[in-house]
Amino acid sequence: LAAPDGSTRPTIFAEMTALAAATGAVNLGQGFPDADGPAWVREAAVDAIRSGANQYPPGRGTPALRRAIADHQARHYDLALDPETQVLVTAGATEAITAAILALAGPGDEVLTLEPFYDSHAASIALAGATHTTAPLVPGPDGFRLDLDALAAAATARTRVILLNTPHNPTGTVLSRTELEAVAAAAVRADAVVVTDEVYEHLVYDGAAHVPIATLPGMAERTLTISSAGKTFSLTGWKIGWATGPAHLVEAALAVKQFLTYSGGAPFQPAIARALAEGDGDVRELRDSLGARRDTLVRGLREVGLAVVEPRGAYFVCADASPLLTAELPDGAALARALPAAVGVACVPVAAFCRTGSPTAASLAPWLRFTFSKDASTIEEALTRLRRLR
């Protein structure tokens, strides 16, 4: 049974990871860390298993984790939330996003995203039977910036939801306050709900600041803010995410979530509650280390001849690979599928994050995405291999 956009095919991440495994390539495709998160957080989960946190947790999440999430939003962003009614724990941000879109949009409704966009966002919209519209992020000297005119034109009376991702996968853009104000204005004009994906909220570099759109004037009441522990604590397989915001939006997401997974992650919930409360130092360490790895990857890709747009957030670098394209390998998709066997490096074509045949897909056809979530030595090895291309 395929979703309208065929999204039941294996994801591009699964495809490139399988290709990397089959060819022995260094995998800078799928973005996940190869160093597990803090030992003390992992020990906390082991303790939780030993002390009996092994049956269904409450559908909304354990009280302790909901409180820790509310405290986190208050401490970092000055957002006040009632843990009883305004916080929902989910199976990663992916489930929260899918539950929210299924709850809020249906046939005849439009859901507006940035383009490129993370693949599961498009799949959620397709599963809801809604129409996917986009506003492009355009590469330039200041990074990929939101086309504000296109955004204004794309937000219509049919737009039910604006699904906003910042820090952004795949481009690494951290939306500026001006861009967020334009999104907020578009949401108010269309009377749309904003659903966010902020899973890279703490992975920002060069002093860039992540601003949740819920903190903008008038936006808290129309925004469902979604994030997770996976990226922040390098525990992507634990799948502990959350949605926060007005009770009616949390309730709507819960109504769907209860029939997707009901609940989950019993021993991980108390461990993440502790990580959120006590892990700020670990997060700073991860951010600094990722910042250094970003610099290595950006420098190395430039040496190979790629035009790199330096990311301010997340753990991906997008690069224009036009100099490497040939008649046989005419675009990023072909190049990404050939690189593992040719030089032993896997990455992901940026067009995989675009609507098939869209103008953005056409303009980003030569682009590749590389992750710097891997060890410094793994990144160095990938760069050594890529240098053979010169």
Contact residues for ligand GLN, defined by CB under 6 A: 11, 13, 30-31, 169
> From the CB of 14, what's the least distance to ligand GLN, in Å?
6
Bridge partners for 241 per DSSP: 90, 228
CA-based angle 115:89:259, to the nearest 5? 85
Residue closer to ligand GLN, measured from CB, 44 or 204: 204
Is residue 118 within 8 Å of 200, Cβ to Cβ?
no
Long-range contacts of 300-308 (CB under 8 A, 24+ apart): 300/379, 300/380, 300/382, 300/383, 300/386, 300/387, 301/370, 301/383, 301/386, 303/383, 303/387, 304/383, 304/386, 304/387, 304/389, 304/390, 305/389, 305/390, 306/368
> From the CB of 26, what's the least distance to ligand GLN, in Å?
15
> From the CB of 273, what's the least distance to ligand GLN, in Å?
23
Residue closer to ligand GLN, measured from CB, 67 or 374: 374
> From the CB of 182, what's the least distance to ligand GLN, in Å?
25
Residue closer to ligand GLN, measured from CB, 109 or 119: 119
> From the CB of 313, what's the least distance to ligand GLN, in Å?
13
Residue closer to ligand GLN, measured from CB, 79 or 123: 123
Residue closer to ligand GLN, measured from CB, 13 or 77: 13
Taking Cα atoms as reference points, which of 131, 121, 128 lies closest to residue 168? 121
When CB distances to ligand GLN are compared, the closest residue is 31
Q: Helix, strand or coil for residue 113?
A: strand
> From the CB of 311, what's the least distance to ligand GLN, in Å?
13
Residue closer to ligand GLN, measured from CB, 181 or 375: 375
In 123-146, which positions are buried (b, 16+ CB within 10 angstroms) versus exposed (e)? Answer: bbbbbbebbbbbbbbbbeeebbbb
Is residue 253 within 8 Å of 224, Cβ to Cβ?
yes
Residue closer to ligand GLN, measured from CB, 216 or 309: 309
> From the CB of 176, what's the least distance to ligand GLN, in Å?
22
By DSSP bridging, strand 240-244 and strand 193-197 are unpaired
